[in-house]
Chain A
Amino acid sequence: MWSRRQGRLSTLACGVEELRCRRREREAALRKARREQQLVSKRLLREDAPEEAGGQSAAVLLGEAEVQQFLRLAQRGTDEKEREKALVSLRRGLQHPETQQTFIRLEGSMRTLVGLLTSNRALLQLEAARCLHELSHSEQSAVAEACLPATSYLLTYLSGHSSEFIELCLYTLGNLIVESEAVRKQLLPQGIVPALVACIQSPHVAVLEALGYALSQLLQSKEAPEKIIPENLGFGYFLAVFERSHWYLCGSCSQPTSAGSSLLDSSLLQHMLRLMQPGPKLNLGVAVEFAWCLHYIICSQVNNAMLLSHGALPTLAMLLLDMAGAAQRMDDAGLELLACPVFRCLSNLLTEVPVEAMGEQMELRDERIVAALFILLQFFLQKQPTLLSEGLWLLNNLTANSPTLCTSLLSLDLIEPLLQLLPLSNVISVLVLTVLCNIVEKGPAYCQRLWPGPLLSCLLNTLVLSDIEVVGQSLELLQLLFLYQPEAAQAFLQQSGLQALERHQEETQLRDRILALQQTAIHG
């Protein structure tokens, strides 16, 4: 069922210590970039590994004369094979940043490359596309922007039928999309959105994965939530004929037209959700990309109501169940890649369900969803602990307003496993305590099911900690517990609870609540 595209996910297993070390370095670099709001920077898109161990030749530095010679040979050579070889040599050279600079400074070089890209010689076309792909990767804006003359052709070729070529065009466009807002300001009027949307009907998995990638980069761009997504939403593309800038700005004007496809219109969303349906045709790589696309769309909050009406919640819920099944069967390569965006999509989308409609959502009355979530949490406990907090956040959103699912946690005996997560980290502690509060606040019927039990001793442990958030949430839980289960207050006193409280008495944010709890415990 989880048919994997060969090769893509194979690098995930880091066996060697060196690989692990390198990975930690890369992680640190990415973390730093994210904090500086630069996670989408080109620089981090591809690993900087000038010497590939896998046999790929290293980037070659070419001088101006060589670049010129290769271009000339490719364009005007008499022997087909020679022309192809010249382009291959050029491509290898273009992996080197200095060769890239040399290339773009050469007059007419891009024009020649575009000419080869649009020629009728298949192999030259492919190699030219690969050269362009190399250039599009560059961190130097000047180099990536030098690719702009080719974009109208890249977009045109997206509606062709040569899947390998389309895939290459998509990855190139994906790189250019990331480059800068200026580049996107050219790509958008050129019709990149309808061109991408047209690809979604491709039967080729590789094309779909590349499409998902390009689309996710577009949706992740800085101006996407305010400009790109809203301007392409709902009523179709509105094109103002007169001024280009007016067109770009005037996205969702009041006059709906029947024009073409828009980013969030029905058919794109339906296709996206289709590609995330569990079943024999589900491809992990494809689903991952579109799950991220969905995440960015949901976060933009532009039209989550439409997503809900298209059945996004059931699709995501079924996917969650499916993933839990896969984890159980240990059929699980790359599962964490999909779980992350799916957790986020489900969780954020739940916040968009109108309160009145909450009770009607079938997913929220199906306890398999919490079973699945716990199975996944246990799985990630070993494989990807960073996912635990996101999973617990989802659990909070599932249980906050749902007596059904709170009851399920009790009837499926999930309280003890939940408590076992407490020591992992402060963030996780707060989340676990919040979920427990969700249960306990629903009243005596719920608290009775927790008593007697390990809850109190766990709380006494958390009170020993120094993190204010953790202690604060523990106090909230204690108040609710004492209110609905008075015997708990008794036991609390007997187990030296008051002393545990005292150590935080001076803390400003905790003082009032500690006093109140002390009163309740003593006087009932």
Chain B
Amino acid sequence: MLLPTALYSRLAGAPGAAEPLPVERNPAAGAAPFLFTPRLVRFPRDHEFFEDGDVQRHLYLQDMLTQVSETPEKSMVPEFTCQVAGCCQVFAALEDYQHHYHMSHGNTCSLCSRAFPSGHLLDVHILEWHDSLFQILAQRQDMYQCLVEGCPEKFRTSQDRKDHMVRLHLYPADFRFDKPKTNRGPAMPAAADPPARALKDDSDAMEICSEPAAPPPCRRTYSHSCLPGAIFHSCLDIGL
């Protein structure tokens, strides 16, 4: 297809267009047996007109996802230790360190040293565990907000909140980022957990965590865990 050379410079030119030619229709135009009227056409997404384009799109996705599954190359560096106080994990790749930093030190409570996966959960933790005003207000109104982003519900107790998250949002009953305040014990599998213990209502627990708690008694601890005491879970006790 040969395009006029002026077209390219037109593209680079200013917006606008020539004055349109006058429109003057004859009523016989498109009259029976003829059919034509100018008309915009809309295609629904599953129309066969779209077949070729959809196929090309999926070929691209196939290539892309195959690449995603490959382990990315890492920027290897001489081994170094994380410099955050109390952390002695060692890394040889920058990406690994970056991930470690974000997950373990990025959203850490300065009061009790627990680490959280997001700023949102950290904020909720500080509010519910370290804010005395929160405790006072919680006695009079629903203060425990649902942890699911976008859900506006608030509850009287953390237990009620947990029930809501399990029933409505289909969250696991042993969701790791929703530990009741008094439970410093190991994260037990839900099945083995005596209901009374894990689901204890902590609305009357007024303790404020001012120093790192002692490492909880565990059947198994990581011998290389150098992070101070109460990380959000310091012990995985899940048997095979």
Contacts and interface: CB of A to CB of B under 8 A. Distances in A.
Contacts of B103: 120, 122, 125, 160, 162, 165
A513 B11 contact: no
A340 B57 contact: yes
A349 to B, nearest CB: 10
B17 interface: yes
B71 to A, nearest CB: 7
Interface residues of A, number: 157
B238 A75 contact: yes
Chain B interface residue number, banded: 35 or more
Contacts of A130: 71
Contacts of B6: 412-413
A122 B168 contact: no
A31 B51 contact: yes
Interface string B160-203: 00001001111110011100000000000100000000000000
B18 A408 contact: yes
Nearest to B52: A386
Given A26-B62, A75-B240, A413-B6, 7 more contacts: A45-B65, A68-B240, A80-B224, A157-B117, A159-B119, A403-B20, A446-B21
A191 B29 contact: no
B168 A115 contact: no
B57 A351 contact: no
B44 interface: yes
B133 interface: no
The A interface, classified by DSSP as helix, strand, loop or mixed, is helix
Contact of A108 (B16, B48, B231, B238): B238
A115 B240 CA distance: 12
A12 B11 contact: no
A210 B65 CA distance: 10
Contacts of A368: 10-11, 13, 15
B106 A161 contact: yes
B40 A476 contact: no
Interface in B64-90: 64-72, 89-90
29 contacts: A7-B67, A30-B58, A56-B70, A76-B220, A119-B233, A119-B236, A120-B231, A137-B69, A156-B177, A161-B106, A190-B169, A190-B171, A191-B148, A191-B169, A237-B151, A299-B45, A325-B12, A371-B11, A372-B11, A374-B7, A396-B40, A400-B38, A407-B21, A414-B7, A417-B4, A420-B2, A437-B36, A437-B38, A449-B21
Nearest to B97: A122
A343 to B, nearest CB: 8
A384 interface: yes
Interface string A471-488: 000011001100110000
Interface stretch (A258-266, A274-282, A457-465, A496-504): A258-266
- The 6 tightest CB contacts between A and B, nearest first, are A260-B150, A194-B150, A122-B100, A443-B24, A512-B33, A386-B52
Contacts of B95: 164
B236 A37 contact: no
Interface in A324-372: 324-325, 328, 336-337, 340-341, 344, 347-348, 350-351, 362, 365-368, 371-372
Interface in A289-331: 292, 295-296, 299, 321, 324-325, 328
B69 A397 contact: no
Contacts of A336: 56
B40 A260 contact: no
B96 interface: yes
A257 interface: yes
Contact of B61 (A45, A116, A340, A416): A45
A30 B34 contact: no
A51 interface: no
Contact of B223 (A78, A149, A210, A366): A78
A523 interface: no
A232 to B, nearest CB: 10
Given A164-B99, A408-B17, A375 B150 contact: no
Interface string A233-277: 000010101001001000000000111110000000000000000
A403 B17 CA distance: 11
Contacts of B7: 371, 374-375, 412-414
Contacts of B149: 159, 191, 194-195, 198, 260-261
A331 to B, nearest CB: 14
B42 interface: yes
Contacts of A52: 70
Nearest to B222: A121
A193 interface: yes
A21 B175 CA distance: 49
A49 B66 contact: yes
